[in-house]
């Protein structure tokens, strides 16, 4: 049994996320965690809400609530939605936790002791209208690289270029919209990432199995232009981890907090500490290589916009500390999911957000479509037509139809227990051989985190059962050879249990329904396909489930299409 640490990108606290955020990190991470658990491995799956920084302050102000109250409420909302999508976190933490405050200040102190933090007096944007310095995310303007008109002061979401507020064309205050901005002197702490460049480059070069998307983004930041730059890690904000604390090796940082991209990744460790404090578990064996974490395989899941911080900034913190912390082994990055010819937009009411999706259909419908269309090699696009076709064909016509046909047939001819008699013939032996090949390929793709290809292989496994049932036609065989029909039916009902086990990482609710219908809790992974198709013996009782997946009607699809179209340009 191997040990696997899995983290997904930490979502900002400022509101409910859309389906693109879900498929870009949390959902594929959950898929992988569920699969590894099913294979018998020990898994620690960690996520949290990212509660510091400008987005939290702005959202709280808009909601008319103190920022700490707002964050507490939204953490509960995001946790509830995550549970609604059946995300199986071992712990869903908060970056505002006491554990993260202690750990963030510890890392800052140790990095400073190793000469990797410097104090910089610089000029920053000051809004005369707002009477305050504006942290980078409080400033928007036009990106000098791609011309995107809503680029933030730290990064352009359109081209992912790292920016400073002074780089923006026509900058404006996000708070007031004022363009009455001027440069004034202020002092901040910088992480000397440039000193870590060679070590980071060697580390990234050693990861020969990483996706091209991950390494290409990391190397672009390392080598393009002037190369890796030192990064400011404090901001003029009230909400966050204080940058001036007892034992801090600097002065003059009162009223400043650590930058959200410094403390947020540290929350992965802190959230595991939160889990340990809650459960009595041992967090160190997951994160300290001197405490057992050398045997852990650590995998991160994230959208491409988060890659620079997890390949460069967070590793700079870990490596620069000189302490025995666990570094990530594999970063699975994703492109963007767009919505019906454009982008998801909260302000324009465009696209389906996570809470809205759960109000329309159960989570398995969304999980299946998103994972089977995951934006791995390129950006993907959600359209209602594609969603309807995928649900109706894959889930209703293939999997749902198989379960319905065989359970109803058996009930009508043999009763609600697996029938006795008969022997397997050439057709059954051929099916077993095909399934053995396909299940091993499914395992390989899941091990390699090839999400879309794994979904395609799983569907092919469902199709194989349908094709067998159609060719064997036990309803016809029953008329002349009831014993042979019984053997075919018994195999097909065992397929229902097998499909539940294999499908659980993708569609956990449907898997639970199938297992309940087969009246079994046997979730044993099919190491031997023949044995897996004999788990449920003759005489074992079952029930005929309700419709596993209902079809989406054209009228529903048209209604949803109109409802979530939003305001067009």
Q: Give the DSSP letter of residue 23.
A: I
- Nearest Cα to 488, choosing from 558, 376, 413? 413
Say how far apart CA 319 and CA 317 lie, in whole Å.
6
Whether residue 514 contacts residue 545, with contact meaning beta carbons closer than 8 Å, is answered with yes
Q: How far is CA 235 from CA 178, 211, 244, 262, 298, in A?
A: 20, 33, 12, 11, 30
> Which residues are annotated as part of the binding site?
143, 146, 156, 159, 346
Say how far apart CA 185 and CA 201 lie, in whole Å.
34
Q: Give the DSSP letter of residue 398.
A: I
Neighbour-count burial for 468-491, b at 16+ CB within 10 Å, e otherwise: bbeebebeebbeeebebbbbbbbb
Say how far apart CA 380 and CA 337 lie, in whole Å.
5
Place of tokens 């995928």: 390
Whether residue 321 contacts residue 114, with contact meaning beta carbons closer than 8 Å, is answered with yes
Query: Cα Rg for the chain, rounded, in angstroms?
Result: 27
What's the number of CA atoms in the CB half-sphere (13 Å) around residue 325?
19
| Mode of pairing for the β-strands spanning 139-142 and 234-235 | unpaired
Whether residue 214 contacts residue 333, with contact meaning beta carbons closer than 8 Å, is answered with yes
Tokens (6 digits) for 521: 């809790």
Whether residue 510 contacts residue 552, with contact meaning beta carbons closer than 8 Å, is answered with no
> Which residues are annotated as part of the binding site for Zn(2+)?
143, 146, 156, 159
Say how far apart CA 301 and CA 332 lie, in whole Å.
5
Most distant pair of Cα atoms in the chain: their distance: 92
Tokens (6 digits) for 517: 């219908």
- Nearest Cα to 25, choosing from 6, 2, 53? 6
Neighbour-count burial for 364-399, b at 16+ CB within 10 Å, e otherwise: bbbbbbbbbbbbbeeebebebeebbebbbebbbebb
Tokens (6 digits) for 308: 């620079």
Q: How far is CA 333 from CA 23, 223, 385, 389, in A?
A: 11, 20, 27, 27
């Amino acid at each position: 049994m191997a040990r696997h640490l899995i983290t997904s990108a930490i979502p900002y606290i400022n509101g409910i996320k859309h389906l693109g955020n879900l498929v870009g990190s949390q959902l594929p991470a959950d898929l992988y965690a569920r699969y590894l658990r099913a294979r018998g491995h020990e898994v620690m799956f960690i996520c949290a809400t990212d509660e510091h920084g400008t987005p939290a302050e702005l959202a709280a102000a808009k909601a008319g609530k103190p920022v700490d109250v707002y964050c507490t409420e939204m953490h509960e909302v995001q946790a509830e939605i995550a549970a609604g999508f059946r995300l199986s976190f071992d712990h869903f933490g908060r970056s505002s936790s006491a554990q993260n405050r202690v750990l963030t200040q510890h890392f800052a102190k140790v990095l400073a002791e190793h000469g990797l933090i410097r104090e910089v007096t610089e000029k920053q944007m000051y809004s005369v209208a707002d009477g305050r310095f504006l942290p980078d995310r409080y400033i928007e303007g036009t990106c000098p690289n791609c011309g995107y008109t809503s680029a933030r002061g730290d990064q352009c979401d359109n081209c992912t270029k790292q920016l400073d507020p002074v780089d923006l064309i026509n900058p404006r205050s996000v708070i007031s919209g004022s363009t009455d901005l001027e440069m004034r002197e202020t002092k901040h702490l910088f992480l000397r990432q440039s000193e870590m460049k060679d070590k980071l480059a060697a580390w990234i070069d050693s990861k020969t199995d990483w996706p091209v998307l991950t390494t290409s983004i990391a190397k672009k930041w390392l080598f393009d232009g002037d190369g890796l730059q030192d990064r400011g890690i404090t901001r003029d904000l009230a909400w966050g981890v204080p940058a001036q604390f007892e034992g801090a090796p600097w002065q003059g940082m009162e009223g400043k907090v650590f930058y959200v991209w410094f403390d947020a990744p540290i929350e992965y460790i802190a959230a595991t500490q939160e889990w340990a404090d809650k459960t009595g578990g041992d967090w160190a064996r997951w994160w300290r290589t001197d405490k057992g974490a050398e045997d852990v395989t650590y995998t991160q899941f994230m959208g491409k916009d988060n890659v620079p911080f997890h390949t460069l900034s967070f590793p700079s913190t870990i490596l620069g500390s000189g302490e025995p912390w666990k570094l990530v082994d594999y970063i699975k990055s994703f492109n963007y999911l767009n919505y019906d010819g454009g982008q998801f937009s909260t302000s324009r009411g465009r696209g389906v957000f996570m809470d809205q999706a759960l109000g329309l259909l159960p989570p398995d419908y969304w999980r299946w479509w998103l994972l089977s269309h995951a934006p791995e090699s390129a950006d993907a696009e959600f359209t209602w037509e594609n969603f309807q076709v995928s649900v109706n064909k894959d889930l209703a016509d293939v999997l749902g139809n198989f379960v319905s046909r065989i359970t109803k047939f058996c009930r009508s001819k043999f009763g609600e227990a697996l029938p006795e008699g008969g022997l397997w013939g050439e057709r059954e032996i051929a099916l077993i051989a095909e399934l053995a090949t396909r299940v091993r390929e499914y395992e390989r793709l899941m091990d390699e985190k090839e999400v879309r290809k794994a979904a395609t292989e799983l569907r092919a496994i469902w199709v194989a059962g349908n094709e067998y049932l159609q060719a064997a036609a036990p309803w016809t065989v029953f008329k002349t050879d009831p014993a042979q029909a019984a053997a075919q039916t018994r195999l097909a009902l065992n397929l229902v249990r097998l499909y539940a086990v294999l499908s659980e990482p993708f569609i956990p609710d449907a898997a639970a329904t199938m297992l309940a219908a087969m009246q079994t809790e046997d979730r044993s992974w099919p190491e031997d396909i023949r044995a897996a198709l004999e788990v449920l013996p003759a005489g074992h009782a079952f029930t005929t489930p309700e419709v596993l997946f209902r079809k989406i009607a054209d009228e529903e699809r048209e209604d949803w299409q109109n409802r979530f179209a939003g305001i067009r340009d």
